[in-house]
Chains A and B, each alone.
Chain A
Amino acid sequence: MSGMFRSALRSVMASRSRFVLTGAAIMLSVAFLVATLVLSDSMRGRAADDIAAALAGTDAVVQGVTLGASDGGPGELGGSVRRALGPDVAERVAEVDGVAGAAPQWIGFAKLVVDGSSVGTGTATDVGRNWIADPVLSPFRLAAGRAPVEAGEIVIDRSLASAAGVEPGDQVQVLTATGMHDATVTGVATYAEADTAPLQRTVLLPDAAVPGWLDAEAPTEVVVDIAEGSDRAEVIGLLSELPGVEVTSGPDHVRTMQDAATSPLQFLTVFLLAFAVVAVLIGVTIIFNTFSLTVARRRRESGLLRAIGAERRQVLGGVVVEALLIGAVATVAGLAGGIAGVGVLRWLVGLTGVTLLTGPSIVSSTSIVIAATVGVGATLLSAWIPARRAAATPPIEALRDSAAEPRVVSPVRTAVGLGLAAVAIAGGVTAVARTSTTWLLLAAAVVPALVLCGPAIVTAAARWSAPVARRLAGVRGSIAAGNLATSPRRASSTALALMLGTAMVTMFAIVASSLTNAVGSDVREGLRADLVVTSATADFPTIDPTLAGRIGALPEVTSVASLAIAEGIVDGQPTAVGGIDPSVLPSMFDLDPVAGDLGDLRSGGVAVVGDDPTLLGDTVVVEFERSTLEAPIVAVVARSTGGFDAPAHFVDRRALDASVGGLLDALVFVDLADGDAARAEAAVRELVRATPGSFLSTRAEHVANSGSEVDAFRNFIDGMLYLAGFIALLGVANTTALAISERSGEIGLLRAVGATRRELRRIVRLEAALLSFVAAAIGTAVAIGFGWALIEVTGGTDLPSVVVPWVRLAVTLGVAVAAGVAAAAWPAYRVSRVPVLELVSRGR
């Protein structure tokens, strides 16, 4: 074994550059994987730990009865919409036997405003809650200053304080559902030890300020400290008997909160892992290609060994030990690099606006084990398969055989592949026809179909592209196209990596553009108002409700319509319900009524967004926190007001306020009087600018901005793709380099009969460009088909139509080809260094 090890080591050292490339591929894959795992652990772990620590003293939580799951909103991290509690619930809870302490927790919207501008951007929500004096029950701890006592005094969380540069004693403002309030910062608090509660920016108010600022009649929840010595289960049982409450034990509550806080991260983790898988796949391809060639080259040698009596295992062993050696070294390097590279990933994730990325990285042994197993395992496997194939060859055949891979493409393989492709297409079509996700699974057969058909595709591509290449680049084109077909299997596995990469870019591009379109199309088609006031964040209203009235009072303004959005539960599903003034809004935003009369909203009716006029007259039940709204459908409209959380139902604004409580405006539409439009706009702008949490856009700007939320996400995806793409390009470089070393005789010949170095480099680049183009084109085509089916089937009303961003796809294709050519630069340089005499030495 040690002899085997020594010879393996010698062999690695002998062909260093080839193994550096292989090692780099493994290293990058492992690094990517481990960074992903560490990052997701860190994000999850950090938030989970903070929540557990902050709620450590809470033994039970009394909340309103659950109406349904929530889509998210301030203070709704628990993930459900609940019926409001009774106003006296805290006193009642305190009277229950065994309760040592009970504190009402009021949670609402509060946004810190410093020097006229609001603090904090990104996905975190702005939360206002009352300061709980009992240190056992309060999740927040004072880090500086003192607790708020009088109305007008506040404490803010430490990350807000540092973001705004505010210290205790500073004068600030707070925007809440009741408008703008002046406040003095009396202290800075931490959430347990953390600077901020997960995904929240918190303003803590004294109890005295709650009625006037949060506009709530009853606390959101009551946190309970159960006395020492009492039976917790028994106390929780007693609490549950109170009317209109649900009681959750402390640990359960912590778990719920943890899940809610980390759920936005879960989809990120899924994406990250998907990319990691692609990276590993590409890495495996590279390793597989390299070892295939290594083994093929050694076939004669191993044939000789076998002829003189070496066992199959002994021939195999050398290669496997070699693979183990490379795999182990590269994996260790990858682990180190990946852990060091978590920062890069953090930056990438930061592009999405997710801001839960403070604190140290959590490197769990599971992450290490998974990444290491994948790294070493993938290397071993991709070396073992070709080695086995070689060892299975009878010795004499191996001695005779040349190193070249057979150029024949197995027709059976292609037939099976075509069969699978047919199944995939049929599955996709059926899925679309029946709107069935199950059938869509069949469409995934396209991936194995591509794997199987790869060699045939490459051969065909070489044949079809030859005349084109010939016309473009003469005999060099013919050579480049022909070279593609010389080892179809290797070329196709490289192409597969590129195909996967491009397919992913394309899919995301299509989903993103369809999403942008879906979010933006209603606005594009329905908006009539001259100006639109928007909220600070797309997913939560932040416009001071008094602003609309003040704009309306301007002489330059003819009319103003505001939109409020509240979350209610319809048929158990969370639904955005819009509150409008039906006499004004339709003239500013054309909701495109299909049936009925929006004016009937005044008499307590509901309008639904949809295209089915027969809904008219049905009764809708919307459950809100404070009351249940049961009303007939008086209108069906084809359009909503745009954006991610566009209302699916509309009611009269007063009805909504009555059911939910004071609401901030999500949008305010403004129509200007005839006359000097610029002056009128300036007047409105001045007013809006003085109102934090609100922003003014013209009609054109608002149309253009609609759907821009998707862009942040797209940045993140793009960032990930650069990484995956980089690894795919290593694959191109590797394959090209392998092909060159295999063809050194031919290259020597070309040089001898008069091809200059530059001409050879051109041939190599052309070959890489052809391969990249074929791969990228197929990847794009497959992704368009699959993406289209996916959106058609699962998109529903969120993604009503598929929008293929052709320009962007064309650019992606161009970039892929250009990158493929760039990846061939190094092998092309190597080509020019192949000594002309190489061919003569090969002849010996």
Chain B
Amino acid sequence: MSPHPHSDVLDSTVLGPTAQDPDVLDRGSEGTHRAGADDAAAMLVGAVKRYGSGSSSVVALDDVTIAFPAGRFTAVMGPSGSGKSTMMHCAAGLDRLSSGRAFVGNTDLSTLDDRELTTLRRERIGFVFQAFNLVPTLTAEENICLPSTLSGRRPSAAVLDQVVSMLRLGDRLHHRPTELSGGQQQRVAVARALVARPQVVFADEPTGNLDTRTGQEILGFLRSAVDLHGQSIVMVTHDPNAAAWADHVVFVVDGRVHDVVDRPSADTVLDVMKGLGR
């Protein structure tokens, strides 16, 4: 079973039992994250997330099975309260599923304790958030290196240089977040997410607080990371223009995957959204 990556996303909403077999997912070479196109960078299988209990409980994820393919840029869209953020949080190990399983690479997150999960986050996942992205007491460079430093390592100088020059942060490395513009802060956050070359980067509305031009710039950087370095990126957004930068767009409605659009444009995304607008 090695279909085209685009159809893989489509198919994976109804993944067969073989795909859940870890042997199939095992990539063998742990070191490199530039995986082949038939790999999933992250995956949810039968994922259910319930908040509260009894009659007042709310189902945020309703039996979702989906794979985010490696080396691709996936956008997740949906109306407010659709469960798109919950989906990302559970896939990224920030939140735990009520039932079902979440994988990053071939690692089943449900088998990890808090410590292992934390280590996984800092070594194999990169994060870009909408706000509160940087530790205010650290310089830009320290923020960029933070996940590696927490693991007791330093990112390789070559990769650091590469990321920093790509994001044009060379002259800002010793500034603190308060001394940076919103766009610069977000670039630092992107650099932090990319520099450890994680298996997957999760971006939660990374352009939500930025003006259009700065937002486009950030999306451009994310796009080049995918194109040049084969980085896997999953981005939650509500902006069709942002989604248009992705390879595929996953639409989430009422806690279920409603639709997947390949090679989206802003218009096609908007059309789908209009169809959802109830």
- Taking Cβ atoms with an 8 Å cutoff, the residues of A that contact B are 474-475, 478-479, 481-483, 485-486, 745-746, 748-759, 836-837, 839-840, 842-843
Chain A min CB distance to B270 (Å): 24
Given A745-B132, A753-B121, A840:B85 Cβ within 8 A: yes
Given A753-B146, A755-B150, A839-B129, A478:B118 Cβ within 8 A: no
Q: Which residue of A lies closest to B88 (CB)?
A: A840
Whether a CB of chain A sits under 8 angstroms from the CB of B136 is yes
Q: Which of A479, A759, A843 is the one whose CB lies under 8 Å from B131? A: A843
Whether a CB of chain A sits under 8 angstroms from the CB of B71 is no
Do B204 and A746 touch (CB < 8 A)?
Answer: no
Q: Which of B118, B129, B133, B208 is the one whose CB lies under 8 Å from A754? A: B118
Rounded to whole angstroms, the CA-CA distance of A357 and B119 in the bound complex is: 61
* Residues of chain A with a CB closer than 8 A to B135's CB: 479, 482, 746, 749-750
| Beyond A475-B142, A837-B95, A843-B129, 20 extra complex contacts between A and B, CB < 8 Å | A474-B149, A475-B145, A481-B137, A482-B135, A746-B132, A749-B133, A751-B118, A753-B147, A754-B119, A754-B123, A754-B151, A755-B118, A836-B94, A839-B129, A840-B89, A840-B94, A840-B204, A842-B132, A843-B132, A843-B208
Do A837 and B121 touch (CB < 8 A)?
Answer: no
* Residues of chain A with a CB closer than 8 A to B145's CB: 475
Interface residues of B in 114-147 (CB under 8 A from A): 114-115, 118-119, 121-123, 127, 129-138, 142, 145-147
Q: Which residue of A lies closest to B145 (CB)?
A: A475
Rounded to whole angstroms, the CA-CA distance of A483 and B137 in the bound complex is: 6
Do B85 and A475 touch (CB < 8 A)?
Answer: no
Rounded to whole angstroms, the CA-CA distance of A843 and B133 in the bound complex is: 10
Q: Which residue of A lies closest to B115 (CB)?
A: A756
Do A757 and B114 touch (CB < 8 A)?
Answer: yes
Interface residues of B in 83-131 (CB under 8 A from A): 85, 89, 94-95, 114-115, 118-119, 121-123, 127, 129-131
Whether a CB of chain A sits under 8 angstroms from the CB of B192 is yes
Chain A min CB distance to B204 (Å): 7
Q: Which residue of A lies closest to B80 (CB)?
A: A844
* Residues of chain B with a CB closer than 8 A to A751's CB: 118
Given A474-B149, A840-B204, A754:B121 Cβ within 8 A: yes
Chain B min CB distance to A365 (Å): 52
Chain A min CB distance to B218 (Å): 16
Q: Which residue of B lies closest to A752 (CB)?
A: B127
* 17 A-B contact pairs sorted by A residue (CB < 8 Å): A478-B138, A479-B138, A481-B137, A746-B136, A749-B132, A751-B118, A752-B121, A753-B121, A754-B119, A754-B146, A754-B147, A754-B150, A756-B119, A757-B115, A836-B94, A840-B94, A843-B129
- Taking Cβ atoms with an 8 Å cutoff, the residues of B that contact A are 85, 89, 94-95, 114-115, 118-119, 121-123, 127, 129-138, 142, 145-147, 149-151, 192, 204-205, 208
* Residues of chain B with a CB closer than 8 A to A752's CB: 94, 121, 127, 129
Q: Which residue of B lies closest to A466 (CB)?
A: B137
Q: Which of A482, A485, A745, A839 is the one whose CB lies under 8 Å from B138? A: A482
Chain A min CB distance to B5 (Å): 28
Rounded to whole angstroms, the CA-CA distance of A483 and B135 in the bound complex is: 10
Do A475 and B94 touch (CB < 8 A)?
Answer: no
Do A753 and B150 touch (CB < 8 A)?
Answer: yes
* Residues of chain B with a CB closer than 8 A to A746's CB: 132, 135-136
Rounded to whole angstroms, the CA-CA distance of A745 and B138 in the bound complex is: 15
Q: Which residue of B lies closest to A842 (CB)?
A: B132
Q: Which of B118, B127, B205 is the one whose CB lies under 8 Å from A756? A: B118
Chain A min CB distance to B139 (Å): 9
Chain A min CB distance to B236 (Å): 10
Rounded to whole angstroms, the CA-CA distance of A756 and B123 in the bound complex is: 12
Rounded to whole angstroms, the CA-CA distance of A479 and B138 in the bound complex is: 7
Rounded to whole angstroms, the CA-CA distance of A158 and B150 in the bound complex is: 72
* Residues of chain B with a CB closer than 8 A to A754's CB: 118-119, 121-123, 146-147, 150-151
Q: Which residue of A lies closest to B92 (CB)?
A: A752
Chain B min CB distance to A467 (Å): 13
* Residues of chain A with a CB closer than 8 A to B115's CB: 756-758
Chain A min CB distance to B94 (Å): 5
Q: Which of B132, B136, B192 is the one whose CB lies under 8 Å from A748? A: B132
* Residues of chain B with a CB closer than 8 A to A483's CB: 137
Chain A min CB distance to B187 (Å): 16
Given A474-B149, A836-B94, A837-B95, A753:B192 Cβ within 8 A: yes
Do A843 and B130 touch (CB < 8 A)?
Answer: yes
Rounded to whole angstroms, the CA-CA distance of A819 and B132 in the bound complex is: 32
Do B133 and A837 touch (CB < 8 A)?
Answer: no
Do A475 and B150 touch (CB < 8 A)?
Answer: yes
Q: Which residue of B lies closest to A481 (CB)?
A: B137
Given A481-B137, A482-B136, A486-B137, A475:B118 Cβ within 8 A: no
Rounded to whole angstroms, the CA-CA distance of A836 and B121 in the bound complex is: 11
Q: Which residue of B lies closest to A462 (CB)?
A: B137
Rounded to whole angstroms, the CA-CA distance of A548 and B148 in the bound complex is: 81
* Residues of chain B with a CB closer than 8 A to A482's CB: 135-138
Chain B min CB distance to A48 (Å): 60
Rounded to whole angstroms, the CA-CA distance of A749 and B193 in the bound complex is: 12
* Residues of chain A with a CB closer than 8 A to B138's CB: 475, 478-479, 482
Q: Which residue of B lies closest to A749 (CB)?
A: B132
Rounded to whole angstroms, the CA-CA distance of A745 and B146 in the bound complex is: 16
Do A842 and B131 touch (CB < 8 A)?
Answer: yes
* Residues of chain B with a CB closer than 8 A to A481's CB: 137
* Residues of chain B with a CB closer than 8 A to A840's CB: 85, 89, 94, 129, 204
| Top 3 A-B pairs, shortest CB-CB distance | A754-B122, A482-B137, A745-B132
Given A756-B115, A843-B130, A475:B149 Cβ within 8 A: yes
Q: Which residue of A lies closest to B116 (CB)?
A: A756
Given A752-B127, A754-B123, A837:B137 Cβ within 8 A: no
Chain B min CB distance to A836 (Å): 5
Rounded to whole angstroms, the CA-CA distance of A745 and B129 in the bound complex is: 11
Chain B min CB distance to A694 (Å): 67
Q: A482, A745, A750, A752: which has the most chain B beta carbons within 10 Å?
A: A752
Rounded to whole angstroms, the CA-CA distance of A474 and B123 in the bound complex is: 18
Q: Which residue of A lies closest to B95 (CB)?
A: A837
Chain B min CB distance to A96 (Å): 87
* Residues of chain A with a CB closer than 8 A to B150's CB: 475, 753-756, 759
Rounded to whole angstroms, the CA-CA distance of A475 and B131 in the bound complex is: 22
Rounded to whole angstroms, the CA-CA distance of A745 and B131 in the bound complex is: 9
* Residues of chain A with a CB closer than 8 A to B204's CB: 840, 843
Q: Which residue of B lies closest to A744 (CB)?
A: B132
Chain B min CB distance to A592 (Å): 61
* Residues of chain A with a CB closer than 8 A to B123's CB: 754
Rounded to whole angstroms, the CA-CA distance of A757 and B149 in the bound complex is: 16
Q: B136, B149, B204: which has the most chain A beta carbons within 10 Å?
A: B136
* Residues of chain B with a CB closer than 8 A to A749's CB: 129, 132-135
* Residues of chain B with a CB closer than 8 A to A745's CB: 132
Chain A min CB distance to B97 (Å): 14
* Residues of chain A with a CB closer than 8 A to B122's CB: 753-755
Rounded to whole angstroms, the CA-CA distance of A90 and B131 in the bound complex is: 96
Rounded to whole angstroms, the CA-CA distance of A748 and B208 in the bound complex is: 19
Chain A min CB distance to B208 (Å): 8
Chain A min CB distance to B43 (Å): 20
Q: Which residue of B lies closest to A484 (CB)?
A: B137
Rounded to whole angstroms, the CA-CA distance of A843 and B88 in the bound complex is: 15
* Residues of chain A with a CB closer than 8 A to B136's CB: 482, 486, 746
Do B94 and A485 touch (CB < 8 A)?
Answer: no
Chain B min CB distance to A615 (Å): 67
Do B146 and A475 touch (CB < 8 A)?
Answer: yes
Given A486-B136, A840-B89, A753:B127 Cβ within 8 A: yes
Rounded to whole angstroms, the CA-CA distance of A843 and B127 in the bound complex is: 14
Chain B min CB distance to A839 (Å): 5
Rounded to whole angstroms, the CA-CA distance of A757 and B204 in the bound complex is: 23
* Residues of chain A with a CB closer than 8 A to B94's CB: 752, 836-837, 840
Rounded to whole angstroms, the CA-CA distance of A814 and B265 in the bound complex is: 64
Chain A min CB distance to B156 (Å): 17
Rounded to whole angstroms, the CA-CA distance of A478 and B139 in the bound complex is: 10
* Residues of chain B with a CB closer than 8 A to A756's CB: 114-115, 118-119, 150
